[in-house]
Amino acid sequence: MARPCPALLLLLLAGGLLLCAPRAARAYPAYFVAANSACGAQPAKAFGRHKAPVADQSILFTVQGPPGSVGKRFCPGAAYAVSASWPEPRNALLSASAGAFDGAGGCRVATTSRVPSVSGTFRVPCGAADGSRVSLRVTSATGGSGGFLQNGVTWPVFAGCAAPACRGARAG
């Protein structure tokens, strides 16, 4: 019986690694974002090799508003320091149902490696209507095939604390 050629085995192994390399170069949140462009979109069912999402109370949100912000309300035009953290490193996707994160390319922040938290500066749009609600949500996963872990906060918009640049702006 003929023995396999070591050089051929190395060539096949190297070829297999090259085929896997482009997929490994992108973090998992990037796959979901590429398939779901809507702001605020988070996995609602199993996606890829991940199981359906479950609520994770170990995810903690910190939302710090500017001076003059009012409790658990968002002020139109104001910037908020938003952070979501969890007990072990994970890939994560942080999103807002309205508004944008500075420097993140819009309404979502995706991690490119496993980290213990994700954060960004979130800006409420001037056109956010008084009494409307804005949700901040995070989905995380500890690996490529575990279940999604989610949590979030939803606060109303209070036009009475609008940033000076937004005062008098109409919702729309």
Predicted confidence (pLDDT) per residue in 81-123, tens digit: 999 999 999 999 999 999 999 876 688 888 878 899 999 999 9
**What letter does residue 74 receive in the DSSP assignment?**
B
d(CA 144, CA 29): 10
- Is residue 13 situated within a structural domain? no
- Is residue 89 situated within a structural domain? yes
Tell me how many domains the chain contains: 1
Please check the confidence at residue 145 and state whether its pLDDT lies above 80: no
d(CA 27, CA 32): 10
Say if CB 82 and CB 120 are below 8 A apart. yes
122 closest CA partner among 136, 139, 138, 110: 136
Q: For residue 117, give both structure tokens.
A: 């938290």
Please check the confidence at residue 23 and state whether its pLDDT lies above 50: no
Average pLDDT of every residue of the chain: 81
Whole domain around residue 137: which residue ranges? 27-166
- Is residue 20 situated within a structural domain? no
**What letter does residue 2 receive in the DSSP assignment?**
P
- Is residue 95 situated within a structural domain? yes
Does the model's pTM come out above 0.85?
Answer: no
Q: Which pLDDT does position 3 carry in this prediction?
A: 59
Question: What CATH number is attached to the domain comprising 77?
Answer: 2.60.40.2470
- Is residue 154 situated within a structural domain? yes
- Is residue 171 situated within a structural domain? no
- Is residue 79 situated within a structural domain? yes
Looking at per-residue confidence, does 171 or 146 come out higher? 146
Say if CB 34 and CB 128 are below 8 A apart. no
Count the alpha carbons within 13 Å of 93 in the hemisphere toward its beta carbon: 27
**What letter does residue 4 receive in the DSSP assignment?**
P
Residue 23: Cβ-neighbour burial (10 angstroms; 0-12, 13-18, 19+): exposed
- For the chain, the residue count is 172
H helices, E strands: number in the chain: 2, 8
- State the pLDDT confidence band at 15, using cuts at 50, 70 and 90: very low
- Is residue 120 situated within a structural domain? yes
Contacts of 90 (CB under 8 A, 6+ apart): 111, 114, 115, 116, 140, 141, 142, 149
Q: What is the mean pLDDT of residues 20-32?
A: 52
